[in-house]
Structure 1
Amino acid sequence: MSEREEWSEMRAEALTHPEAQEAYEATRIRFELGREVRERREALGMTQAQLAQAAGLQQPAIARFEAGGTMPTLPLLERLAAALGLRLQVGFEPLDRAS
């Protein structure tokens, strides 16, 4: 058995616990939000420092956010969206359609 298979099995076992599922979901959300911001920033040719200035933040805050290190508030997401030339849209989708 490879390390990958062992890890997959360990992860699957861990995610059978509700607390682990909640933590995993919170981490997934932070990671996806950070990735979306980074991809948009890069598409615009902005540096983290430029985004930080446009959003009224410090560059380390952008770096932490893009790495999935913080769970942002809605006002922070609105500031980042505006700095990236976007409109924040929040919604819900059925779990069977979620990725």
Structure 2
Amino acid sequence: MRRGGARGFEATCPEEFADELTPGDWACHAAGEGAKGPRLYDWARIRRPWTSEQGFEHWLLVRRKRSKSAEKAYYLVFAPPGSTLADLAAVAGLRWAAE
């Protein structure tokens, strides 16, 4: 489901984008350290067609549990050009430290 929005954004359903990811789009990265060691998840990113005036790129970042449930979480990311998937995963993992 996509609808036009203000300032060039469009309303989207992140699950639709995630459903289009291929196995090769996913990579395992840590989302920081937990009480039992690194918190490992599968991550993927989908480039969104916007760039800010400061040159930041927009991404839909998808985190997937590595268990059979494959539960997903979604992040809208504004990142400096050249940021890697590992960079985005590490920053998203900082959320736990702030909570």
- TM-score by length of structure 2 reads 0.25
Asked which structure has the greater CA Rg, the reply is 1
Higher helix share: 1
Higher strand share: 2
- TM-score by length of structure 1 reads 0.25
The answer to which structure, 1 or 2, has the higher relative contact order (CA under 8 A, 6+ apart) is: 1
